A and B are shown apart, each in its own frame.
Chain A
Amino acid sequence: GEDVEQSLFLSVREGDSSVINCTYTDSSSTYLYWYKQEPGAGLQLLTYIFSNMDMKQDQRLTVLLNKKDKHLSLRIADTQTGDSAIYFCAESIKLNTDKLIFGTGTRLQVFP
């Protein structure tokens, strides 16, 4: 079955690193994504990783993929108050429809 799970909340101090975790069940995933949703807005693609990669770094963002354990994480270095949002991981599992399965979202709160 297709299931993507995330913890619901994460609270960090400004300047610290944040690590948001995600587990998925479908081993045929092709791409895995991280989306950010700010209050009252739609989802914005942050970064992604192809399923044959272990790590991807993009400025303050580092994505780690453990395909054996079906575990995906997003690390935000030097977290800022502007990073406060809900973060969704998603997996793309079918090649011909681009259907995404989303996790429940992790609400990141950054305090001074």
Chain B
Amino acid sequence: NAGVTQTPKFRVLKTGQSMTLLCAQDMNHEYMYWYRQDPGMGLRLIHYSVGEGTTAKGEVPDGYNVSRLKKQNFLLGLESAAPSQTSVYFCATTPLRIAGGTLGTDTQYFGPGTRLTVL
């Protein structure tokens, strides 16, 4: 049981290059999220998904695209990387919220992060 994994752990890109970050979970969780973490700004939500085949925009979606073709995977794509996208990216998952359920349905489980540098 690996929990939430992210690939790759580190990456350096040149401006204009594209790449895809992969988040994989083996907990059968419905909800998945992509955050970016920047110094002094906490975590900001980029995009999220409430189930297979669904995606939605978060707080800072511009310059990113996502796909959730399989329940266990949530991909974050950068089509044309910019230096402003230098950041640490975290994936998180949550089980399906059950109305009136316990807190366990609200807890977000985080991956170890991907450090991306765009030159």
Give residues in A with beta carbon < 8 Å to B.
4, 8, 30-31, 33, 35, 40-45, 48, 50, 88, 92, 95-100, 102-105
The reply to whether the CB of B73 lies closer than 8 angstroms to some CB of chain A is: no
Report B-chain residues with C-beta under 8 Å of the C-beta of A95.
97
Residues of A within 8 A of B43 (CB): 43, 88, 102
- Docked complex Cα distance between A25 and B94 (Å): 24
| Contact B90 A98, beta carbon cutoff 8 Å | no
Report the Cα distance A35→B106, complex, angstroms: 13
Asked if B87 CB lies within 8 Å of chain A CBs, one says: no
A92 to B106, CA, bound (A): 8
B107 touches A103 (CB 8 A): no
Most buried by A among B4, B31, B35, B43: B43
Is the pair B40, A98 in contact by a Cβ cutoff of 8 Å?
no
Stretch of B13-21, B60-68, B78-86, B109-117 on the interface side = B109-117
